[in-house]
Amino acid sequence: MRKKRKGLNEWTLCLLIAVSTAVFMFIFCWPVKVDGVSMQDTFNPGDRLLISRLSALGGYKAGDIVICRILQNNVRKTAVKRVIATPGDRLVIENGIVYLNGNAINEDYIKHSHTLGSVDITLGEGEYFIMGDNREESYDSRAFGLVRKSDISGKVFFRWFPFGKIKIY
């Protein structure tokens, strides 16, 4: 009887550890694989990232890299993009330069030195304007419009692969 109880306790402990690990992964560090070139040179196809779903509680700020759901060719896709403007911001894209609340923003992370398109918009509550860092190859808010906070799954906080490019964001 004692041996049976010990075995039951070990199984209970293993089950508790498995459930705790799953909950931890779901909330704190969900793995994502980069698919596509819209975030080059920041991320390349095949890069592996971890996102925090908990970051949604505090909202997102300009410059954050997020995972979101977008509609492309009538198909829901998951995309990695950078937040450019947040609720209440006025965003203007003119002559290849991005202005946020009247100030040109420094975008040293973009692949090309300019941003195509023309935009003049003030974001409402719960709305985000997102773009890829590879502006010439990115399907983003310039094409499909604003993203709702509810469509953002989380914020990228760590690249763990390739191993030579490990980085905390």
Is-contact 70 153, C-beta < 8 A?
Answer: no
Q: Could you report the per-residue pLDDT of 123-139, keeping only the tens digit for each? A: 999 999 999 999 999 99
Of 98, 63, 68, residue with least CA distance to 83 = 63
Residue 124 lies in a domain: yes
Residue 68 lies in a domain: yes
Burial class, 5, CB count within 10 angstroms (exposed 0-12 / middle 13-18 / buried 19+): exposed
Q: How far apart are CA 83 and CA 37, in angstroms?
A: 17
Q: What is the mean pLDDT of the chain?
A: 91
Residue 132 lies in a domain: yes
Residue 85 lies in a domain: yes
Q: Number of structural domains, the chain?
A: 1
Residue 41 lies in a domain: yes
Residue 157 lies in a domain: yes
Residue 2 lies in a domain: no
Q: What is the mean pLDDT of residues 113-117?
A: 88
Q: What is the mean pLDDT of residues 49-65?
A: 89
Catalytic residues, by residue number, are 38, 81
Element of type H or E holding 75:
strand 75-85
Q: Could you report the per-residue pLDDT of 71-99, keeping only the tens digit for each? A: 888 899 999 999 999 999 999 999 999 99
Of 28, 81, 100, residue with least CA distance to 57 = 28
CATH of the domain at 113: 2.10.109.10
Q: Which domain holds residue 147?
A: 29-161
Q: How far apart are CA 147 and CA 35, in angstroms?
A: 19
Residue 17 lies in a domain: no
Kindly list the distances between the CA atom of residue 109 and the CA atoms of 3, 112, 156, in Å, as whole numbers in the listed order: 61, 9, 15
